[in-house]
A and B are shown apart, each in its own frame.
Chain A
C-alpha cells in the first residue's frame, strides 16, 4: 500500500525532502514505515528514540497500523541539536514533564 510520509524541521533539511512516498505491506505499522524511510535516508536512524509520529492530526505509537493513503508525519526530537546534546536535552525535557 502507498503511504505518504511528511518530514519536518531538521528531518526535512537532513534529507533535502519534505515528503517521501512509500510502498509498504498492507497493514504495515508506523515502525515499518520508519524503517523504510531510514533505508532511503540512513542519516535519520540515530533519531529514532526521540521521534514523534502523527497520522492526520493525532499522535500515534510506533505499533499503530497504517491504512492505505495514510499521511504519516515524522516529528524531530523536541529539544537539542547535535546527537549528544539532543539526548541530554530530551532526557531533561521528559524529566520535567
Chain B
C-alpha cells in the first residue's frame, strides 16, 4: 500500500467547482509534485489531506490512517505549509516557532535555528509585521524544524527570491535523502522538474496526467532535428528506416526520434549526408505540460 493514498476523492462545490474523483498514490521517500493552474483544485485536495475539509466521497489515507476521521492522529506524522500564511498570536517568529515545536511534540529549537540561518531569517521580528517572503521562510522553517515523516506543502516557494528558492529546493533534496515523503503543489514548472520524482496534473478538479519525471529527465528516446542541403539526401534519409516524427518537406527538415542505443549508427549514417544543421530538441516539463493541456483542449 502507498504511503499516502488518495482514493476517489470528490468535493463538489457546484457549478463545476471542486475536485472530482481524485486518486493519487504517493510512495514513501518520494517528492510528489502537484501541478495545475489557479483554481484547478490543488488547495482543495491538500485541505482534504489535512482533514480541514470533509469529502463528499472517497477518502485520504496517510500511513493507513483516515485523514478525515482521524486527522489529529495523522498530524503526528505530518507537517504543513498552508497556501495562505498567517501566524497565530502576536509575538515574534521565535515564539511562534517554539510554540509550534511544543504543540506538534516534534523537532527542536536547535534545528529551527539552523534552518533560520540557512534562510537568513530574522526570528526576532513580530509575526504580523513580517513581509510575505519572511512569512514564507518562517513557515518553511517551522515545517522542516518539526521533523515530520511527511511534508504537505501548498505552493511553498511563493514569495521566495530566486536565491532562496534554490536554498529551498536543496533542502527538499536533503530531506528526501533522509527518507522524508514530500507532497507539494506548485505552478512553477522548473522547480517541479528539478526536484520532483512524480507529478500529478490537475485541471478543473480532475487529474489529467501523472508523470514519472524520470521519463522526462532521462528520456532515452530523443528527438533530433536536421535539415538537408539536397532533396536527394532528404529522401534517402527517410528511407533509412529511422523513426520519423514530423517532416517539413518544403524546408527539407526531419524530426527523427532516436533511442540512445542507436545514436552511433545515426552518426555513422549521417557522415554520407550533406547537412545544414543537426540539433537535439530538449523536452522540458513545461513543454510536456503544454502539450498535455493542448491535448485536453
Q: Do A and B bind each other?
A: no
